[in-house]
Each structure stands twice: as C-alpha cells, then as structure tokens.
Structure 1
Amino acid sequence: MKILKIITFALIFSGMQSITSQQNLGYQKPSKEILDLVDVPLAPSIRIDDKGENLVFLYRDSYKSIEELSEKEMRLGGLRINPKTNISSRATYFNNIKLKKTSSETIKEVQGLPTSPRLANFSWSPNYKKIAFTNTVSTGVELWILDVASATVHKITEANLNANMGSPFLWFKNNEALLVKVLPNDKKELINQATAVPSGPTISVSEGVKAQNRTYQDLLKNPNDEHNFEQLVRSDIYKVDLKGQRSKWAKTAMYWRMSFSPDGSYIMTTELDKPFSYLVPYSRFPHETKIYKSDGTFFKTINKVENDEVRPKGFMSTIKGKRSFSWRADEGATLIWAEALDGGDPSVEVSHRDEVFELKAPFSGTPRSILKTVNRFSGILWTNDKNKALAYGYWWNTRNLKTYLFDPENNSKKPEILFDYNYQDRYSDPGSFVTVKNELGRNVVYIEKGKVYLNGDGYTKEGQFPFIDKLSLKDKKTKRVYQSAYKDKKEEIYTALDLKKGKFLVGIESANDYPNFYIRNINKNNKLKQITNFENPFKSLQNVHKEVIKYKREDGLELSGTLYLPVGYDKNKKEKKPMILWAYPREFKNKKSASQSTSNANSFTYPYWGSVIYWVTKGYVVLDDASFPIVGEGDEEPNDSFRKQLVGNAKAAIDAVDKLGYIDRNKVAVGGHSYGAFMTANLLSHSNLFAAGIARSGAYNRTLTPFGFQSEERSYWDAPEVYYKMSPFMHADKMKTPLLLIHGEADNNSGTYPLQSKRYFNALKGLGATARLVMLPKESHGYRAKESILHLLWEQEQWLDKYVKNKK
C-alpha cells in the first residue's frame, strides 16, 4: 500500500512537471530532405535601364543571421531603427553587384566594392549612366556611386547618412550631384530606457472626441521615446557631388519625404512636427509640406496637417484639407493634391467624395480644380497630351474602382469613366496603362493616334494568359495586340522598354523552370530574346506533380487550390497519404469575384521560408493557397457568417482531394500565417476535419483589436456577437485537436502582437488542450534569421510527423 502511494505520488508529480515546465531547447534543424531545399543560393535581383541595354545583378544571402537580428534596435513611432548605424534594423542588404549588357552573354564583376558589403537603396541617375546606393558599416551608412560603363564604384560620403526614414538621398536632375540626408552635428545623446530615472508618470487624455484607431505596434510610449524619436529622425540636408564635395543645403528638420519637380527647379519636402502621438505611428504625426528652390532657398510652406489621431469611422475615412501631394508629370513645376468633399467621413452622403486641385509655380494665387471623383481619389496618370489625363477613384465597401479620362486644362468638360468595375473581379480587370519616360524624365501614358496601351495579368476561367491591349480613347474599343499563348509556362509582362518598337521586358517560368527575363518584341512576330539564364536551385522538386484543382463548396461557390503530390508518387496506385492544407481567408462582396481562381500551375515551385512545399519530400500531399473566400453580399457583411463559410471551405477542399483518391482524410493538417493562423484556430475549434494544426503569428482574441481587424471595419461595440464568435480564445474549451502555435517575439504587425499567442496558449493549457507555443527571439511578423527558419521547419516537421503522419 505504501509503495502504491509512492508510485501514485510520483506519477502525479511527473504529470505536474509536464504541465508546468518549459523546454529549454536550442535551435534545431529539419531533416536533410528539407534542409537541402532551404540553404540554397538565391538568383540575383535585377535592375534594368530605361532602354533595356544594361542589366544590374544584385546578390544577397537567403537569410539574415540571428546575430544580425540581435543588433541594437529601437522601436519608435512605427519605425524600427538601429541607433548605431541609423538605418532600419530590418533592412535587406545585398552583398555583391554584377553587370551585363542585354546584347552580350558576358557578366562583369564590379570593381572596388567595400569589404563585407551591406548594400541597399539602389537608385539610377536620371540619365541611367550611374547608380547611387548605400553601404552600412558598423558605425553608420555611407553613400557610394556605381559607374555602369566602367563597372567601378567609389564612396562619396563618410558613414554619416540618416537612413532611418527610408532612402536618404535624391539625384539632382543634372546627374552630377545628390541631395543627401546627414546626421546633424547637434544630435543629442539617446536616453537608455532601461537605466533612465522617470521624471513623472506618462499621462494620456481623452476629451470626449472619438479616436478609433487600429492596434498599431511600436508606438511612442513616454517622453523618453519622444526624445529618442526626434533625435533619430532629425537630419541636415547637404548637396554632395560625385567627387564627394559637399555644401549645406537646408537647415536641420525632421525630414520625412523629398521630391524634385520634373524640371528640377523646386524640391517639395514633408517635415514632421510636434506634438507627437502615442496612439498612431509617425505617418499621422503633425507635418508640414514645404517648397524649396533647387539651391536650398526656402520658398513657401504650402500645407500644415495637425495631429491625425481622430478620424471618422470606416476604412474610407481620411483627413480634412489637403492630402496626397505630387508633381504633375507632364509639366515643369505644378503641384497636385486632393481634398475630401465629405469632410473625410465616408458616412456623409455626397455626389462626389474628393476634389483634385493644381497650383503652378510660383505656387501663389487660387488653386484650380481639375477633377472631382465619385469615390475616394487614389492617383493620376499623366500623358503625353496636356489635354488628357487618367485618374483613379475607389471605394472599399463596395470594392468598386473607377478610371476617369479627363481634360486637366478644361474642368468644364465632364470626365469620362473608362472603367467601372469590382477590383476583386480579376477576370474583368482591363489591365494597367503602359507608361514611358517623357522629356522631363517622368513616367507618362503614351497616346499614339488617340490610342493607349494596357498590360493585363490575363486571368480567365481557363487559366492565365497575360495580354497587351490597344484602347481607343475615342470609341473605347480595345484591340488585343499580344496575348501569351503558353499552356505549359507562365509569362509575366513587366514594362515597356521601347513602346514604339514594341519591346517589352517579360519573365517566363514553369513549374520546373526558374524564372528568367526576356525581351519580347510584339512588332516582330512576338520575337523573344533571353537576357538572363538563372538555373533551378531546387532540383529535387523538378518532377513533383503540380496542378490547380477546382471544386465546389456546398452552396455551389467554385473554389480552387494548388495540389502537389509527394516526390515519386505513383498516381495510378493512389496510395493514401497524409495531407497539409495551407490557406488564407479573403473577404468578398459578391460570389462572382469570390469564385475566381488566380492560381497558375505553371508558376515556379519555389519553397520560400514559410512554404509548406517542403513536405512533398516527406511523403505528404500539399494543397497550397486553397480558396477560403468569406462572402457577404448586399447588406450582409462577410464576417456575419465567417465560421460557417470557413468550415464549408475546408470541407470542400478535403472532399475534393479525397475524391481523387490521394489522401487519408483522417490524416489532414491545416495551417496558416497571420490571418491564416486565425483561420486555423477557428477551424480546429469548430470542426472535426483535421488531425492537427499549425498557426503562425496570429491573433486569437478580437476584443484586443476592438476598432476593427483585417477587413472588418465595425468596432466591437457595433458587432459584439461577431467579435465573440470569431475569436478562438472565446472558444478555447472546444479545442480538441493538437495545435502548434509559433510567433515572433518582435511582431510589428497591427493586432498580431505576441501577447495574442501567449494568452491563447495559456487558455488552451488551462483547459487541457494539446498545444505547443514556440516564441522565436528577435523575429517580426515574417521571420528572417536562418536559425529561426530552420528551427521553424524542425518544429513543423516534428509536429506533423507525430500528430498527422503517425497518428494512431
């Protein structure tokens, strides 16, 4: 009896240990089949000049190291800054540059590159003969110049640039100098939050005005943050020539944006101001828009925006007053901006939402109205005809997009609506207007004999066939001048290199052929000229079966997904295999657009860090990018029936693959990232379709995002039942399926802060569910460090093998 009591106590104590203890585990690596697909060299990114003559190859490592991610980081006002180097702590760096003529096979090595290069912010000079770029060293950021003709580089500044708010330089129009943001001499010491002694409490005030904002990350929290933010974004502006000679151009300020007028005679800046906010990121801080002459002489302040904490409710809300400043691309120095006619409030009924104005240099007198838009204004494309321009206006609530043709010189002419459609209706997408460089060096739509070109993705019910159309602006008829005819490849049309000669830059790939670039001449029998020759680094996936399958949901809605069969799978034998379903829900306002497929079986099979394609090497069937539409037509919002539609999508996907005879439907896993993680937790709570789940970087309690999330613009107080029903946290007691939760400890995405996974795991653990929480140090919403990614894959592999492949 005594022995029995001892054994019983030992078992209870052992069980308590398993419930409460943490696992101290170092970084792990997945099995060789997966590892061999992860650590492969990347093909370079490319830059091409405006004539399509010179290619620049930019090389980088596939991943950062955990050591790089562990460098000092300050999170302030929505920025993530390395305070020692004064550039984004999350910047992506290149480490080598090579050059190639499109007319030659020879690839040139660039001479004179810095030791251990960390290169970023590449920018062509206006004449495309040089490229400026930054190099980050241990003490800061330098500015370098690449001479394309000689394939040499040289440094023109010391490591004193301020790149904390993006690219820190602009080219002057004469190609001989750059405007550069430099750290000011009077920069004060930063405050160390860990050791600073508080001077008082931090106090926020609400004075009866609604300020319904999303749950932004990395906001300022106290006066010390305010001090540090100001010191890190203040800059002096210098003019620096190609030999490194410099002269002070403008006084110290918190410069956010800078842009030259097309003729180079003026520079428009956006400068941040105080008071800062603890509720919104820096893009909604007070700011002023100013005009300087090209010699640095201050000319005029043209706009001031107060602290933008308070906006009307809704995704289509905006500020009162002037916004969206730009330069008119077909004139030397004409400012363009928009103003809301509804006071920025989408609930106000008006005939037109926005009005667009212009003001020519010297920016005095009365601004001239050039256009009113029915929906919210979202941009203008200028043309080579001063009497014709194209503008866009959209409305999120109806997913409507309108394209206007108007005369900017005569506002008495009524604008014509060229296109008016649901922008989620990909089968009806007319394409994007093709642009060329004008004499001012700006991109404009080229009108030739009253006709313009359009370049479209070409999604259809039968597949994807990219196209180039000619549209008559007079009778609005289109003529197809080129359409990709590939049935076993995928073509993507990028840009016009020479529109008159019919030359376009295109990319061509297949499921087994790595994407390469070509010049296609649509005027010469669609002749192709290959200009890159990148090889497939993922040889082990070359013969994997891949197809887009289509199937129907119970309510008749057509769905699709990309199906992969395991390496070496014999379709004739139809051996039952475990399956992984990976998806991401998307909201639609009608069933027509929700049923459309944009998957292409001919796209290259590329196993990036977050992919589940790796598991075809481990005997799994994979259904990737499965359609998970959430539809709300008319007055019904998509999320009113979120759970029902979610389960319906999942059941339809499993039924479809099961019907093909490939899977054991008792061994199906589901997974997703971000909103896909939210989907996964809901599916496991409200269905018995799955053996296990993987949820990465998700949000699980919608009451922690009370003023909207994803495409839900109603607040918690508008629709409390929706927030409750959609929150997996509220239904943690229903979780009976093993769930692997993974989250970056430094997640910066709105709403998916790490607390979401921690609290959800605590609930699951307290209720006795089978779950595992993995917090990845230093990682943000997407994961970057090689150590993290290898461990992520190991965790997923162990989980799937235990609870899916080897499920009892």
Structure 2
Amino acid sequence: MIRLLSKTALAFVLAFAVLGPIGAQTSYQTPPESITILFNAPPTPSVSFNKDGSLMLILERADAPSIEDLSAPELRIAGIRINPAISGPSRAGSFYNLKVKKSRSGEEIQVKSLPTKPKMGSFSFSQDEKFLAFTQTEATGISLWVVDLSTFEAKKLTEPIVNQVFGNAVAWLPDNTLLIKAVNPSRGEIPKTPSAPPGPIVQETSGNAAPSRTYQDLLSNPHDEALFAYFMDSQLMKVSLDGSKSTIGQPGMIKSMEVSPDGSYLLIESIQKPFSYLVPGDRFPYQIEIWKSSGENVKTLAEIPLDEVRPTGFDATVTGPRNVNWRADHPATLYWAEAMDGGNPRTEVAERDVVFTWAAPFSGEKQKLAATSLRYAGIQWSDDTFALLNERWFAKRIEKRSVINPSNPAAAHRVIIERSSDDLYNDPGDPVLTENEFGRSVLMRKGDLLYMRSEGGSPDGSMPFLSTFDTKTKAQKILWRSQAPYYERVAKVLNADATEFVTLKESTDLQPNYWLVNTRKRIAPLQLTNFAHPYESIKGINKELVTYQRKDGLNLSAVVYTPEGYDPAKDGRLPVLMWAYPREYKSATDAAQVRGSKYTFTRISWGSPIYWVTRGYAIMDQTEMPIVGEGDKEPNDFFIEQLVANAEAAIDHIEAMGVGDRNRVAVGGHSYGAFMTANLLSHTNLFAAGIARSGAYNRTLTPFGFQYEQRTYWEAPEVYFNMSPFSFADQVKSPILLIHGEADNNSGTFPIQSERYYNALKGHGATARLVFLPSESHGYAAQESILHTLWEMDSWLEKYVKNRK
C-alpha cells in the first residue's frame, strides 16, 4: 500500500528523531573466499595516447589503500580534503609503474629510474612530445618528475614543493619548461589550533535570499579560515629540464593557472577574502588576471564576488564572466560567457547568455561573439570560420549545437543538432577532436564534415559507431560500427579521414583490450594490448540483457547474471539480488530506451552486486527505475507509485524467466540507490531484505533541492515528505542493512542521515543494522572497509534472503 501525505495534513517538518545507542565497534571481517578472490583481482592498467597515437602510456595502478593509509590526518575544510603533510589531496589514486608502448610495432618499453616508492599521477606530454611530466607523492610533499622519451629515463626535477590542494598544478610551456604551482616558500608554519576559542561564531543575513544545497566540509571557525589560506598559499615557478627554478609573479591563493596556446600569457584565478561558512571554496570570491609568462600583471579581467546568493534551479548560474578560457585555435585570445538573465532561469530574456572574446595584447574592448537562447555549455574550436557553440537547458532536457563563424559574429547561427539529452537512440554523438600546432584540442573536420563518435543506442543495446556528420545537410554517414558479439568503441582516431583508428574491444568474457583498425586497407585488426582476464572464477557465468514492461506499458530493462552452468529447468529458482539507481526523465519515450549492452565485459568494482553470482544468487544489475514527469509535470510528483511499479515489473519478469524466487528477492543500491531501497521497503512487501549504502533518508534535511529535484521544500512540501523514507519508518517490515562512511563528503548524504533513520526504524521495531565505516567518504576505498562491507552484505543476504524462513 502507498500512503501519501496531503498538503493540508502536512503540519510539521520531520527534521530530526530521538537519538539512541547504535551498537558497538567490531573488528574488520572478511567475506567468503569466492568474493575475496574477485576483490583481490589485479586492477587493469590505464592507457593514454600521444597526439598521433604512435605511443601508448601503460599506467599500472596501485591496489586499494589500507585503512591505516586512509586514516592518516586530513583537513576537511572549504569543501576539500587535504593531506596536511603533502599540501595535496588526501584521497587521490596513484600509479606504481609506467611503460611506453609503440602502437604500430608493438614494442613495449619499461620506463627506467622511476621513484623507489612510486605514487605517480598527473601525467602530461610536452608540446613537442619529447618529454613526459608527472608528479610523485612523497611522505612530505609532491615532487615533479620528467621522462625523456628518447631514452625512456625518468628524472626528478624538484623537491616535494608542488601544491596540489586545489586545481591544476603543472603545465608545459612551448619551450619545454614547466610551470608549476608550488607551495609558497614564505608561508611559514601551519596555524596552530587555539587553546580556547576567541569568541562565538556568528553568521548574519541582511534579508537577501541565499538558498544553498547541503554542502559538506565547510569552514566553521576562524582557525579553519587560517588553515585554508595557509594551504592555498602558492607561488608560481618555472622549472627547466635541468631542474633549475625561477619564481613567476606574486604569491597568492591561486585557484587555477592556464597557459595561452602560444605560451606568451597566463590566465590566473586567485581566491580572495571574505571566505564563507555556507558554500565551498570554489564559490569564494576570486580575481581573474592576465599575466605575461614572465609574471608581469597585464590586466585584471574580473573580480568575481562571493557566490552565496544564487537563484534556485540547475539552470541557474552566476553573474559576471564565467568559464573563462583560451581559444584553442588562436595564439592568445580569451573567451567567456556572461548571463543576461541575472543567472535566474525564471527570467524571460531573448539572449540567455552572451559569449565574449578578448585578444592579446588586451588593450582594446571585449567583443561579442555569440548569444544563446539556452544556457551556454562551451565552444569547440576549429578555425576563424568554424566553431561549434553548445547550449543546454536542464529543466527540459534540451541540448543544442550550432555552427558559428568566429570571424563574422553578426552571421546567424546554423543549428545542426537540437535534441533531448536523454534520447540515446537518436544521439549523433560527440565530435572527434584532434590537436593543432599549439597542442590544443580542436574539431577534426573536412570542410562541412565533422567526425563523430556515438554510443549507438538501440533497442538491442548500445552498438557504438564512428561517422561523418554533414553540418549543412545534417546527414550522418556511418563509417564503422561495433558488431555483435562485441562491445567496441573508438578510442583514438589516427588519420585525417578516419580510416585508421584505435578501438577498445570487449565482450562478456573478453577483457577490454586495444586494437588497431584500418578500414581502407581492409586488413585484419591488430591487437595492441593483451591485458589478462582478471576474474578466472566467473568466466563461465551467464549474462543476459532482458527487456520487459511496466504495468503502464513503459519498456524497462536489466542485466541478469546467473551462476556458471545454471539451468532453470534442472536447478530450480534462485534467490535474487536486484541492484538499481533511479533516474528522472521528462519523456516516457526516452525513459523506455534500452541502456547498456549485453556484450560488455563483466567488470567488478568494489561496489558491484556481481560478487553474489558466486554465492548462488541471480543478479539483476542496472535494473531500470525510471521516474517520468512529462511536460509541465515534475517526475518526483510520481516518485513512489512509479518506483513501486518498476520493482513489481522487475520481480514479475525474473519470476517469469523461471530464474528468480519472488519470495527471496533483495533490493540494494548506493547513494540515491540507497534512498530508493529504503522507499521500496517502506511502501511494498515485495522484498525479503534491503541493503542501503551511503544514502539520504530525510529530504527535509536537504531543503533546497536534491538529486534532480529543483523545487525547494517550501515550494513542494508534500514531495519532500512523501519521498522521505524517514516519514514512513513505521511501515518497514523487511530487514534493512544500512552502511555509511563516517566521513561522507557527498552533498546531502551526511552520516547523520543513516543514524537518524536507523533510530526511527529501531523505535518502530524494524529489523535493521547500521554499520559506520571509519575514515570512509561517499565511496569506500580502504581494503579492510570494502572487504568488511562485502562481509556485511553477504551475511545479511544469507540470513534474510537465501535462507529466509
């Protein structure tokens, strides 16, 4: 039964519950061997290419960190998490080995003289591609290294002085020197925690509405402010290949630095005071300056004020210059957008945003390049006669692409694509980019023809393709398409007519590997990598992309896994683990489209449900849970009834297949999937148990919007109440396992969400278990934490699902 609250009956806000003891600490546990083996499988290397694809970087990534590593001291301030020992991020991944492979010959070369305890990252080629830079995280900081690609020898260029607290920190100049954002050598000692507070913490509003989402890790006192200013304090430096250094410009709280294509100028954004206790650091005041590459300040482009007061809605934005960048096709020309509607999507204007340009030496006035009817979403450059202007409007799920002539701003735009951003079947794809003489990404085109890569959505699943797109006739010609039984997509186009390219090819049991394809010579594709299958124990499992209908006729889909050798006729029905994540749509047609492919490799991440196929379960993964609100209707006005209908249809189908036992079905999800799980247990008796990881359960704690809900609590109080599992904790009859990282950094999913929901469940006699993972954020990282999570989930499923009485 679905119980909804009418507006007249809503007389209070359920913002808190009575807290009580939630249990005791336990030691870390390990799941059964079949699950542990899969988790401990070696991670597949990452691959990246140089400009022409002749070289491949093979980056071997490190295993998950230990809980000891993850529990090292960190600062959680201004929406970022800092390792104070290194002036860098506290939770960044890294690579432990680097190889270079020559694509055509297949020769693989081990880079020599790498760091002794490698924790490498931030790889980048020099403009002439003779060198490769990377950073190395040491115990006391982050150092800069370089690889000579003629000798494949690595060399340390600096001591651990790189400041990676915020934004990019390393950039190449055209003369093969490096620009780095270094720790200011004069910043002094870290501010000490005061022995006593200097006074009360005061915030005050002067009557201006300042709606804001529920951000994590904000500044909360003057000491936090001092720490943020200390770790942001940076000095730009030039570093030569011999290791010599020179300072550039004045130090400051440098937010970002961008080198002009010709290397003559720098675009510098520096955070200014006053700071805020309401929004994270990327919304603090900042100054946009243009420097010469020598460090001389040429112009101040803008002084952007504190961004605390912004209209509501995903199409809202700031006033003044935003998205300031260098034109990729010019030596030194800036471009940016400015909102003409005050950043308010509810204001009706003919020109929503205007794009301006300003060319070196920045002595004249900015020039209007183009105007948009939707919200500006970037420009892809080609040359002075051709560029693509991108616009979008989230509220209606519309995206638009137009050809503009940069040399003639008065010329009318030529709209070439206007479509629903949710329409996978009719997605022409994204333009293929190539690199120009400045080493910048520009459109790969031949006259009016663009080259495009698309996911190739279809009723049979995704079949990616490479095509040309005629910008005058809007005709699309498929040059190459993935063929069953493989899922294959173009990773790198190697020549001007797109007849030679590298693909990433996989199938259900074929580990993704890179292949060289030549459609002109019609020779057999050449395999470039030979990464081994990491999951020998599940090579024989069955995988099927299934489609079925909701009771209102909406088409749905899921990927079903069953154990190796399983035969429904002989082996009977299995317990089922259904894993899902709801998504909102503005069109039932778009919502009904099949997403994913039955030919993708069965990849197992730390949070995957597929582990339990080794334990005798049928898995329904990527189970579609669309919530549709067409036209002026909002999807969330129908959230509960459509969510329930989705679940009913999925269970009916797995039962009709002869695979699933409808009396032994568990539902689970992470984040918004956890929110979904709790709602399904509140409003149905369909499930034997539920697993909810890192969710939010009381929407009144996120009153200025959540997920894709743009209305505030005060605009739609019934929606907030009715969508909150907390409101219906008294209706939960199935056992529910709640897991949450105690250091969750995701907006809206504060750990208190799980704590208060658990207490509400406990107060009404539900069967529930709450597990807090020390030091973990929204996604879990430490080996011990992940293995324990898998143990908790396995124990719950075995007790309440497989062996359900």
Please classify the TM superposition score into its range, dividing by the shorter chain length. over 0.9
Aligned to 1:183: 183
Aligned to 2:596: 599
Aligned to 2:396: 398
Contact 2:168–2:257 (8 Å) recurs in 1: no
SS at 2:392 equivalent: strand
Q: CA deviation at 1:352?
A: 2.3
Aligned to 1:56: 57
SS at 1:299 equivalent: strand
Taking structure 2 as the reference length, what is the TM-score of the superposition? 0.96
Q: Which amino acid aligns with 1:363?
A: F
SS at 2:425 equivalent: helix
CA distance in 2, matches of 1:136, 1:405: 44
Q: CA deviation at 1:161?
A: 1.5
CA distance in 2, matches of 1:424, 1:491: 22
Q: CA deviation at 1:297?
A: 1.4
1:708 aligned to which of 698, 705, 708: 705
CA distance in 2, matches of 1:516, 1:464: 18
Q: CA deviation at 1:125?
A: 1.1
Q: Which string of whole-angstrom CA distances, capped at 9 and with x for unpartnered residues, describes residues 468-498 of structure 1?
A: 22122232222222222x2111001123222
Aligned to 1:286: 285
Contact 1:40–1:62 (8 Å) recurs in 2: no
CA distance in 1, matches of 2:107, 2:439: 29
Q: Which amino acid aligns with 2:210?
A: A
Q: Which amino acid aligns with 1:366?
A: E
Aligned to 2:457: 459
Give the 5 Å matches for 1:123-272: 123-175=124-176, 177-193=177-193, 196-272=195-271
2:418 aligned to which of 420, 423, 430: 420
Q: Which string of whole-angstrom CA distances, capped at 9 and with x for unpartnered residues, describes residues 360-400 of structure 1?
A: 111122211111111000100111x4111111000000000
Q: CA deviation at 1:436?
A: 1.2
Aligned to 1:310: 309
Q: Which string of whole-angstrom CA distances, capped at 9 and with x for unpartnered residues, describes residues 479-529 of structure 1?
A: 222222x21110011232223462222100011011001122233337522
CA distance in 2, matches of 1:525, 1:637: 51
SS at 2:211 equivalent: coil
Q: CA deviation at 1:635?
A: 1.5
CA distance in 1, matches of 2:22, 2:771: 14
Report which structure shows greater RCO (CA 8 Å, sep ≥6).
Answer: 2
Give the 5 Å matches for 1:390-539: 390-484=388-482, 486-500=483-497, 502-525=499-522, 527-539=524-536
Aligned to 1:747: 744
Aligned to 2:7: none
CA distance in 1, matches of 2:148, 2:694: 43
CA distance in 2, matches of 1:793, 1:556: 36
SS at 1:460 equivalent: coil
Q: CA deviation at 1:547?
A: 0.6
Q: Following superposition, which runs of at least 4 residues in structure 1 exceed 3 angstroms of deviation?
A: none
CA distance in 2, matches of 1:635, 1:429: 24
Contact 1:141–1:159 (8 Å) recurs in 2: yes
Q: Which string of whole-angstrom CA distances, capped at 9 and with x for unpartnered residues, describes residues 380-432 of structure 1?
A: 0111x411111100000000000011111112211011000001001111111
Contact 2:79–2:216 (8 Å) recurs in 1: yes
Q: Which string of whole-angstrom CA distances, capped at 9 and with x for unpartnered residues, describes residues 592-635 of structure 1?
A: 11011112111110111000101000000000010000000111
Say whether residues 1:65 and 2:62 are aligned partners.
no
Q: Which amino acid aligns with 1:149?
A: S
CA distance in 2, matches of 1:163, 1:777: 25
Segment drifting more, 412-421 vs 798-807:
412-421
Consecutive unaligned residues in structure 2, runs of 5 or more: 1-19
Q: CA deviation at 1:35?
A: 0.8
Segment drifting more, 225-234 vs 96-105:
96-105
Contact 1:574–1:661 (8 Å) recurs in 2: no
Aligned to 2:298: 299
Q: CA deviation at 1:20?
A: 5.9
Q: Which string of whole-angstrom CA distances, capped at 9 and with x for unpartnered residues, describes residues 169-227 of structure 1?
A: 1111122x11111111221433454x632101111111111111110111111111000
Q: Which amino acid aligns with 1:545?
A: N
Q: CA deviation at 1:761?
A: 0.5
Q: Which string of whole-angstrom CA distances, capped at 9 and with x for unpartnered residues, describes residues 113-159 of structure 1?
A: 11111111111111122111111111111111112221210101011
CA distance in 1, matches of 2:293, 2:189: 32
Q: Which amino acid aligns with 2:403?
A: L
CA distance in 2, matches of 1:318, 1:711: 16
Contact 1:567–1:619 (8 Å) recurs in 2: no
CA distance in 1, matches of 2:166, 2:343: 27
CA distance in 2, matches of 1:655, 1:336: 54
SS at 1:515 equivalent: strand
Say whether residues 1:30 and 2:28 are aligned partners.
no
CA distance in 2, matches of 1:447, 1:82: 44
CA distance in 1, matches of 2:119, 2:511: 26
Q: Which amino acid aligns with 1:125?
A: S
CA distance in 2, matches of 1:231, 1:549: 55
Taking structure 1 as the reference length, what is the TM-score of the superposition? 0.96
Q: Which amino acid aligns with 1:186?
A: S
CA distance in 2, matches of 1:108, 1:439: 28
2:799 aligned to which of 794, 799, 802: 802
Contact 2:543–2:560 (8 Å) recurs in 1: yes
Aligned to 1:113: 114
RMSD of aligned alpha carbons: 1.3
2:574 aligned to which of 574, 577, 591: 577
Aligned to 2:376: 377
Q: Which amino acid aligns with 2:475?
A: K
Q: Which amino acid aligns with 1:124?
A: F
Contact 1:574–1:662 (8 Å) recurs in 2: no
CA distance in 2, matches of 1:226, 1:640: 41
CA distance in 2, matches of 1:394, 1:681: 33
Q: CA deviation at 1:467?
A: 1.4
SS at 1:717 equivalent: coil
Q: Which amino acid aligns with 1:343?
A: G
CA distance in 2, matches of 1:293, 1:20: 60
Aligned to 1:9: none
Contact 1:562–1:624 (8 Å) recurs in 2: yes
Q: Which amino acid aligns with 1:578?
A: P
1:688 aligned to which of 682, 685, 688: 685
CA distance in 2, matches of 1:639, 1:703: 15
Aligned to 2:551: 554
Contact 1:511–1:605 (8 Å) recurs in 2: yes
CA distance in 2, matches of 1:270, 1:447: 33
CA distance in 2, matches of 1:184, 1:443: 32
Q: CA deviation at 1:21?
A: 7.3
CA distance in 2, matches of 1:323, 1:501: 35
Q: Which amino acid aligns with 2:745?
A: N
Contact 2:460–2:594 (8 Å) recurs in 1: no
Aligned to 1:10: none
SS at 1:610 equivalent: coil
Q: Which amino acid aligns with 2:766?
A: A
Aligned to 1:677: 674
Q: Which amino acid aligns with 2:187?
A: K
SS at 1:463 equivalent: coil
Contact 1:580–1:668 (8 Å) recurs in 2: yes
Contact 2:127–2:438 (8 Å) recurs in 1: no
Aligned to 1:763: 760
Consecutive unaligned residues in structure 1, runs of 5 or more: 1-18
Aligned to 1:87: 88
Q: Which amino acid aligns with 2:92?
A: A
Contact 2:22–2:770 (8 Å) recurs in 1: no
SS at 1:498 equivalent: coil
- The number of equivalent residue pairs is 786
Identity %: 47
Say whether residues 1:645 and 2:642 are aligned partners.
yes
Q: Which string of whole-angstrom CA distances, capped at 9 and with x for unpartnered residues, describes residues 642-663 of structure 1?
A: 0000000000000011001111
CA distance in 1, matches of 2:45, 2:647: 38
Aligned to 2:612: 615
SS at 1:573 equivalent: helix
